[in-house]
Amino acid sequence: MKNRQVLNNGMTLIELMIVIAILGIISAIAIPAYTGYVTSARAQECQQEVASLALAQEEFFLEQRTYFEGGSTGALETNSQGLWSPSEANVNNRNCSYVIVAGTTGIATSYQITATGINNLAGKGTIATKTKL
C-alpha cells in the first residue's frame, strides 16, 4: 500500500468564519469604547480652555481694572489683547464655542465663561462654565 500524506496548507472555511466572528465581536466592543474616550478627551479640552480663559481674565483685570468679553474665538483673542489664544485643537472653534459675558456696569467686575459643544461635541450642550461674581 502506498502511504499518502495529506498536506494541510491554509485554513478551512469554518476556521476563517470563526476568526471573522471573533473580530466582529471585538470591534463591536472596542469602537464604541474608543468613541467615548475621544468624546471625553474633547470635552476635557474645552474645560481646559475655559480655565485658560479665566486666567487670562484675571491677568487682564490686573492690568485694565475690568474684564473683557466676546462671543467668538476671534473676538476673545482680540479683546484679551494677546493674553489668550486658543489651543491648536480649538482654533476655528473645532470642538467648542466660547462666550464671555462681562458684568453690565461701566467697569466690569464679574464675568461668565461658557463653552458649548459644536461639531464633534454637538448635542452635548454646555460643556463647561466658569463664573466670577
- Domain presence at residue 55: yes
CB-neighbour burial class of residue 2 (10 A; exposed 0-12, middle 13-18, buried 19+)? exposed
Residue 117, strand partner residues: 96
DSSP conformation class of 70 = B
- Domain presence at residue 72: yes
Name the residue range of residue 17's domain.
13-132
- Domain presence at residue 114: yes
- Domain presence at residue 119: yes
pLDDT string in tens for the chain (133-residue length): 567 776 667 778 999 999 999 999 999 999 999 989 988 888 898 899 999 999 999 999 999 888 988 888 788 888 888 888 877 666 666 788 889 898 876 778 899 999 988 887 878 888 888 988 8
pTM given for the model: 0.74
